Structure 1
Amino acid sequence: MVLYSINEFRTGLKIIQNREPCVIISHESIKPGKGQAFSRVRLRQIISGKILEKTFKSGDFLESANITEIRLVYVYHDNEFWYFMDEKNFEEIAVAAKIIGTNIKWITTQLHYIVTLWNKVPILVTPPDCIELEIIKITPIKKNSTGSSGVKLATVSTGAVVKVPFFIQLGELIKINTRLGTYMSRAK
């Protein structure tokens, strides 16, 4: 167990706060003219994504989180788990659907994902920032006076629904921003 003092705080440091792994988003060391030095820290809880703001005094120590991020390939899923494989040693890691959460709509085979492990247990699956998916269904367009500009809803191969421009057709490959869930462009 490694302990960090407030002098060792830096952005990206992973620590344990309230028995949950957190990452430091930002920190500010303050040395007042009178009194003890302290540090204001913004933390993001890795599991829930909540943002916390904490103040630590100069004598405080925080425990480091045993967090590992590994790049794995999604292989398949069954009723309970989604399986990711390490391409180096061919080990598989099973991840429950509740851990994947809303990112489940961006999971497709043979794509690389970042799986975050806390004490060797998966706690988070992060898809790539941009993925290419095929459109399998498009909502019909009602002809009206809006002209040719605007958007329509398209369902992609993973089941996610994305707003796309009118010129996009059924069966096309499109690039999607997974952070925002939005159309970026046609795939080349």
Structure 2
Amino acid sequence: MPKINGNEIKPGTIIEHDGGLWASVKVNHVKPGKGGAFAQVELKNLRDGRKLNERFRSEDKVEKVELENKDQQFLYETDGRLVFMDAETYEQVEIDADLLGDRRPFLQDGMTATVNYFGEEPLNVSLPQKVKCKVVETEPVQKGQTATSSFKPAILDNGVRIMIPPFIGPDEDIIVHTELMEYSERA
């Protein structure tokens, strides 16, 4: 694995540190009046989700890890495990459903997601950025409410509650941004 200097760590960089795989979430480069510059890095463990704040000086060497990304099709869920299939080899892999966290309801049958592998070990699942959902329940439109950019609560077909514009009614299809978990546009 290639070694990089501590000041080359950027958000999203994956490093091997303290015997584990860590993804940098936030990076703040600091130049104090006295002493050398350093990078204050917030790390997240890719295996168990722990967070850690570390300070790396520019002369510190860390091992950068490259993950292999594979597009795989979601088949079904069984006992808290998600089953994905490789479209090329038809090989199936089971991944812990907790890896998706709050985004789990947006995973739909037959959806293609990107699975990040370290060797043979699946570490993370990335959903498509936007997903089509149906509004199941929302409040009726109130007259005069369109003058300001107000939003109203809605429940989607997957059970997720989000805020939508007042002109969207029940049984309408919308596009939801999966990272932000918010309304994007009409479908």
TM range (shorter): 0.7 to 0.9
Question: Which residue in the other structure is 2:14 paired with?
Answer: 14
Q: Is the 8 A contact 1:138 1:152 kept in 2?
A: no
Question: Which residue in the other structure is 1:147 paired with?
Answer: 144
Question: Which residue in the other structure is 2:126 paired with?
Answer: 126
Q: Is the 8 A contact 2:80 2:96 kept in 1?
A: yes
CA distance 1:5–1:78, change in 2 (3 Å): closer
Question: Which residue in the other structure is 1:96 paired with?
Answer: 96
Q: Is the 8 A contact 2:72 2:112 kept in 1?
A: yes
How far apart, in 2, do the equivalents of 1:96 and 1:108 lie?
16
- Listed one character per residue, the Cα deviations across residues 25-75 of structure 1 (whole Å, up to 9, x for unaligned) are 658698x9x98x7652535425338473422362x4323436322222212
Letter in 1 for 2:17: Q
Length-normalised TM-score, structure 1: 0.75
Structure 1 ranges of 4+ moved more than 4 A: 24-30
Is 1:79 matched with 2:79?
A: yes
For structure 1, the 5+ residue unaligned runs are: none
How far apart, in 1, do the equivalents of 2:85 and 2:166 lie?
38
Root-mean-square deviation over aligned CA pairs? 3.2
State, as a whole percentage, how many aligned pairs show the same letter.
19
Letter in 2 for 1:105: P
SS at match of 2:98: helix
Is 1:106 matched with 2:106?
A: yes
How far apart, in 1, do the equivalents of 2:126 and 2:154 lie?
23
Question: Which residue in the other structure is 2:3 paired with?
Answer: 4
The worse-fitting range, judged by mean Cα deviation, of 47-56 and 158-167 is 47-56
Q: Is the 8 A contact 1:38 1:55 kept in 2?
A: no
Length-normalised TM-score, structure 2: 0.75
Letter in 1 for 2:56: T
For structure 2, the 5+ residue unaligned runs are: none
How far apart, in 2, do the equivalents of 1:29 and 1:6 lie?
15
Question: Which residue in the other structure is 2:57 paired with?
Answer: 56
CA distance 1:166–1:54, change in 2 (3 Å): same
Question: Which residue in the other structure is 2:70 paired with?
Answer: 70
CA distance 1:63–1:165, change in 2 (3 Å): same
SS at match of 2:105: helix
